[in-house]
Amino acid sequence: MRYMCTVCYLGKNFSGWQSQKKGETTIQGEIEKALKIILKNDIKIVGSGRTDSGVNAFSQKFHFDTDILFDKTKLLNSLNAILPEDIKLTDIIKTSLNARFSAKKKTYLYRIYLSKFKLPNIYGRLQVYKDFDIKSLKKACKILSGKHDFKNFMATGSSVKDTVRILYSIKLKKYTFANTIFIDIYFCGNGFLYKMVRNMVGLMLEFATKKIDYKTFKNLAFNDNADKKFTAPGENLYLYDVKYR
């Protein structure tokens, strides 16, 4: 029997999603450890994708296969009782889907705030304090949306050969609270390359803060000879949602 689970987590205390041979603490490793304690068996889980060290998730998906019978609600409660406080499951259902290969759409969220002062009570948002042009950010969203070869946004260390992806949309949500401007950037696509979102955000912010011009932005995004990357921090990135139809 196959089960699909939804998990949310803060990534700051973990070395990413994927289990590591070196013994680092990971999201996958903590969940598999908890499953072994409760089900008294080694259970391997398959995530919808691998988030980097420090990256968070509102709705990561994973599946596992087992012939062991259990009550889904009891298992959910038992897992949450022993998992770390920054990892919690929100759903367990029966499924025939593969968490990774059956995914149709993924949405990532990157969060920033505009302020001359670094606010002490904000975690999970990147401070942007220099000249910021929202129109340039919107223009960058439009340029990057659609079907493109995103190889310039893929970090080294990936063995992926096909680097063409479709970004269905890049949407901005802007609001003001306590004299501070908050901006949420949502990236929805059919798949993402290694550190692709972080590298896109880094380049978008270079453009929006007038450190590079329009021509340079396009060249760095899509020119075959581009070799410079601007990588935004991982702790402000969230896997927001995964869709299977």
In the predicted model, what is the mean pLDDT of the chain? Answer: 94
The predicted-structure confidence for 52-100, as pLDDT tens digits, reads as follows 999 999 999 999 999 999 999 999 999 999 999 999 999 999 999 999 9
- Note the pTM of the prediction, 2 decimals: 0.94
The predicted-structure confidence for 149-159, as pLDDT tens digits, reads as follows 999 999 988 88
E strands of 66-163, at which residues?
Answer: 87-94, 105-114, 126-128, 146-149
Averaged pLDDT for residues 219-236: 90
Q: Domains plus CATH for the chain? A: 2-94 (3.30.70.580), 105-243 (3.30.70.660)
* Catalytic residue (one of 52, 86, 224, 227): 52
Residue 169 pLDDT more than 90?
yes
d(CA 236, CA 44): 28
Residue 23 pLDDT more than 90?
no
d(CA 184, CA 113): 9
Q: How many helices (H) and strands (E) does the chain have?
A: 5, 10
Q: Is 52 a catalytic residue?
A: yes
The predicted-structure confidence for 102-134, as pLDDT tens digits, reads as follows 999 999 999 999 988 888 877 789 999 878 999
